[in-house]
A and B are shown apart, each in its own frame.
Chain A
Amino acid sequence: MNKYEIAVWVFMLAAFLGFELIRRVSPLLHTPLMSLTNAISAIAVVGAILITGAQDATPLSKVLGFIAVVASTTNLVSGYLITDRMLKMFKKRGEKK
């Protein structure tokens, strides 16, 4: 199996896992769920680091990579923080603040 084939397998399985997991999430939490998955999509930061920090990085890819790290860090930080801020508010009856 070449590496591209493996990659497609990984994608397929992860997508189905995603379907199964998300289907179980109560509509009550759909907004925090979207915030969380939005924060997870900031995983693009991995690619951004690899481009920016590479030995052979050209000035162009350094500049683009720099912007990409800034953008994905913004996404990452605000995504996680606001998800937690939202979830903190969900309380049952009688639960203390």
Chain B
Amino acid sequence: MIETIFPILYILAAAGFILAIKWMNSPTTARRGVVVGEVGMLLAVVGTLLRYEVVNYEWILIAFFVGSAIGVPIAYIMPMTAVPQRTAFSHACGALAAALIGTAEYYSHTPHGFVMAALALETLLGFLTCTASLMAFGKLQEILPGRPFTYPGQNFVNLGVFGAAVAIGVTLVFSPEKTWLFPIFIVLSLVFGVLLIIPIGGADMPTVIALLNSYAGLSASAMGFALDNKLLIVAGALDGSSGFILSVIMCRAMNRSFTNVLFGAFGAIQSSAKEAKEERPVRSASAEEAAEILDAARSVVIIPGYGMAVAQAQHKLREMYDVLTRHGVDVRFAIHPVAGRMPGHMNVLLAEADVPYDRLVEMEDINGDFSRTDVALVIGANDVVNPAAQTDKTSPIAGMPILRAHEAQTVMVIKRGMSPGFAGIPNDLYYMDKTLMLFGDAKSFVTNIVKELGSAATAR
């Protein structure tokens, strides 16, 4: 009886996951998607607990309890700016689980052939994703230095470690009884995960997080092959293709090749950035002047970047949006695909601040409008508005699609100082005649603009 029930529950669970992703295509159905995804997971867990192979429940129930005790606070306490870290940490957990299951399976059954190959793949991907995600977590949380760390022969070392891990994996497939090889395999996988993330800087995190998402999924899928479990295969494949597509989108948004990313070779180009040019004059303005210009404008496009997240300026920005909208100014937000530390990062922060999502416009849709825009306000973004990406063929970011802020009538840039951005590339946008630099902390500067806008309104 029960043997006929659990396959049905598994099939329903898989359908739930597929619908969950399908409904993510629109904000109006997305929450329904989460519910159906949760139901799918519940069916999968219940179906598994009902299986006749499962006889000991105590440990499982304790583990559920412990896992929830860790997971629930994380989900509610983490501020929205920390979503990239949380995702990285969660990837690490999921990948660790897959890797440990692979290990346990190897030692208890010593499988052969196809199953052993799947198991080796699962364990390799699981352990490397685990340490790589923890490294990404450390860099995002700023426990580890966020700057890329490179040394001569880095790719050689990385490929060497990876090659050794694969060689041992293949050996184990053909002679699984060599149990002494397995711990070495584990250590190499763990080490490779660390090496993979060392050369990667914060600005490349959107691609990396997406890629780790993909690896975690593929690891679960490999587990499905090893345990002959179709639900695991389907869920893992969905996850794997999702992460893969997102990382391809991120690569395209940075004009980097996918192989470049796969081998973690990026981040290194930053060292080739040119020396800063000689001092050039810039025009700066006060909050009062900025407020006047914004108030007089008909259309304003705000371009947020990671700096907005760091300064937690999104709520003040919303206040500014409210005031300007009330004054009849058309205010929109232009979102570059790689702004922030994970795909779609800016959208979540602005949604948190109650900015309506129909005011958030993608790069392709807004780039044609800049020439008809009165003011482009850049806040905490740098490379994504650097015209050098399109004009200077020797620039490290040459060919990267940018938001064409320089076409607006007036450009305003809120920035702490004149230091070049993360990539260390000088930005000609700052030196243009129509550009006003607003020096200061993003949050306090926007606060001042809002104040000025308020007093201007009462003076009318």
Contacts and interface: CB of A to CB of B under 8 A. Distances in A.
A89 B32 CA distance: 14
Interface stretch (B50-58, B275-283, B373-381): B50-58
Central interface residue in B56, B107, B359, B362, by most chain A CB within 10 Å? B56
Interface string B145-173: 00000000000000000000000000000
Contact of B356 (A24, A32, A88, A95): A95
A35 B100 CA distance: 22
A78 B86 contact: yes
A80 B37 contact: yes
Interface residues of A, number: 85
Contact of A74 (B37, B90, B221, B359): B90
B357 A28 contact: yes
Interface in B411-432: none
Contact of A46 (B71, B231, B359): B231
B311 interface: no
B108 to A, nearest CB: 5
Contacts of A97: 354
Contacts of B232: 43-44, 46-47
A25 B343 contact: no
Interface string A54-96: 1111101110111111111111111111111111111111110
Contacts of B344: 27-34
Interface in B308-347: 335, 337, 342-345, 347
Given A41-B239, A47-B98, A69-B67, A31 B345 contact: yes
A65 B246 CA distance: 31
Nearest to A12: B237
A21 interface: yes
A41 B360 CA distance: 29
A80 to B, nearest CB: 5
A89 B354 contact: yes
Nearest to A5: B114
Interface string B37-75: 110110011001101011111011011101110111011
Contacts of B97: 42, 44-45, 47-48, 67-69, 71-72, 75
Interface string B295-314: 00000000000000000000
A81 B356 CA distance: 22
B86 A82 contact: yes
A88 B27 CA distance: 9
Given A4-B114, A28-B347, A95-B356, A51 B21 contact: no
A49 B303 CA distance: 47
Contacts of B233: 7, 10-11, 14
B78 to A, nearest CB: 7
B417 to A, nearest CB: 30
B178 interface: no
A36 B24 contact: yes
Given A27-B344, A74-B67, A44 B59 contact: no
B91 A85 contact: no
A75 B68 contact: no
A21 B18 contact: yes
B107 A37 contact: no
Contact of B27 (A16, A29, A74, A79): A29
Nearest to B14: A14
A78 B74 contact: yes
Given A45-B45, A48-B63, A81-B71, 4 more contacts: A7-B224, A29-B27, A31-B343, A74-B90
15 contacts: A10-B237, A21-B25, A25-B24, A31-B345, A34-B246, A36-B20, A36-B34, A37-B242, A41-B216, A42-B41, A42-B97, A52-B56, A53-B49, A55-B55, A60-B108
Interface of A: 3-4, 7, 10-11, 14-19, 21-58, 60-62, 64-95, 97
